[in-house]
Amino acid sequence: MAATFPLPPGSTIGILGGGQLGRMLALAAARLGLDVVILTPDEGSPASRVSKATIVAAYDDPAALATLARAADVVTYEFENVPVRAVEALMALGVAVAPGPDALRVAQDRVEEKTFLNAANAPTVTFAQVDSAADIAAALPRLGLPALLKTRREGYDGKGQAWIRDATGVEAAFAAVGAAPSVLEARAAFRRELSIIAARGRDGEAAFYPLSENVHEGGVLRTTLAPAEVTPAVRREAERIARAVLGRLDYVGVMGIELFDLGEGGLLVNEIAPRVHNTGHWTQDGCEVDQFELHIRAVAGWPLGDTTPMVQVEMTNLLGDEASDWLTIAAEPNARLHLYGKGEPRPGRKMGHVNRVKSR
């Protein structure tokens, strides 16, 4: 049955994906009196352990999608690589899905994404579509060196990427990304990396958190400092970009937009994530309404709520066995520990994060 919005407390949110983002969405939903049902292929996922029910099945399993559609008043996702056809199948079963399939389609393919962004007046690095090593060689004169080759699909945390430093490295780079359909990007000579976490409600109302400054190591987010020191012009430009992207997708929910700060007010969009984002975790301990609650409010048709920062926060990801320091971190003043309940601390795996209050 088609839901009417706003969904009252007692309603059920379906989430595709069972990772830490789903877990923190479920915790936020619980605070608002909403129940959560997770669909994930993994047993014992971080999100399922704090949710009312879990369907363990492939994302495109028709019976699982039918069960989810019956259980949920609205469905969202915490992972941008859920198949678009799963979202379309849910919609065909009459359940609302937010964000919609267009956002997913665009964010799943780096060529589509950059093409969309440029059409939305959101500038990116110069890029070329790559289907062969010859395509790389042909594009290098235009893009310059070094250039970064990335698979079009399925990359995350810097995986599926290879730098090309000189023309002799072309074949090796293409082999390094598995000769997959790719995008070649000009190097962004950025001063620093920023991001903006933005949201849009069912009525088109938009909300923005202040920008954060993000440090990556080996393609993985290390720390976020927010609110970042930015000029009013940079903030305005980031909000202009976010508004254009959200509006063009008729988006409902929270989106993370990764930015390169070129200095002198110039920003490029690196990528967009149609979901809550690691660089927005600081909001849990920095704002009245955090990004997880904001997303739940948006998809449930509630007022978006207050994104004003109360304090400056530094968020540090706990990767691999860094989470074994939990006892020390738990004793630290001005620090708040968030652990995801994952068993295996594989190297580089996101096990948790800590938000440290920097200034009030």
Ligand X SMILES: Nc1ncnc2c1ncn2[C@@H]1O[C@H](COP(=O)(O)OP(=O)(O)O)[C@@H](O)[C@H]1O
Which residues, numbered 123-142, are part of the site for ligand X (CB under 6 A)? Answer: 125
Q: Which is nearer to ligand X, 255 or 337 (CB)?
A: 255
User: What is the residue type of 163?
Assistant: W
Which residues, numbered 148-167, are part of the site for ligand X (CB under 6 A)? Answer: 148, 155-158
CA dist 197 and 135 (Å) reads 35
- Sign for the pseudo-dihedral over CA of 294, 296, 299, 303: negative
Structure token digits, residue 35: 């129940």
| Residues contacting residue 251 through CB under 8 Å, at least 6 positions apart | 99, 100, 103, 200, 245, 274
219 makes contact with ligand X (CB under 6 A): yes
255 makes contact with ligand X (CB under 6 A): no
- The span of 18-26, 82-90, 183-191, 280-288 binding ligand X (CB under 6 A) equals 183-191
- The span of 41-49, 182-190, 305-313, 339-347 binding ligand X (CB under 6 A) equals 182-190
Q: Which is nearer to ligand X, 187 or 336 (CB)?
A: 187
- The span of 37-45, 187-195, 296-304, 327-335 binding ligand X (CB under 6 A) equals 187-195
Other C-beta atoms lying within 10 Å of the C-beta of residue 333: 6
Buried b / exposed e over 27-66, threshold 16 CB at 10 Å, is bbbeeeebbbbbbbeeeebbbbebbbebbbbebebeebbe
157 DSSP assignment: T
Q: Which is nearer to ligand X, 76 or 108 (CB)?
A: 108
CA dist 314 and 115 (Å) reads 33
11 makes contact with ligand X (CB under 6 A): no
From 91, 188, 335, 339, residue interacting with ligand X (rule: CB under 6 A)? 188
Q: Which is nearer to ligand X, 11 or 279 (CB)?
A: 279
294 and 305 Cβ atoms separated by less than 8 Å: yes
Q: How far is the CB of 147 from ligand X (least distance, A)?
A: 8
261 makes contact with ligand X (CB under 6 A): no
216 makes contact with ligand X (CB under 6 A): yes
The pattern of x and - marking residues 33 through 72 that bind ligand X according to CB under 6 A reads ----------------------------------------
Q: How far is the CB of 156 from ligand X (least distance, A)?
A: 5
Question: What is the DSSP track for 191-206?
Answer: SEEEEEEEEE-TTS-E
Report the DSSP beta bridge partners of residue 151.
182
Interface residues with ligand X (CB under 6 A) are: 125, 148, 155-158, 185, 187-188, 193, 216, 219, 258, 270-271
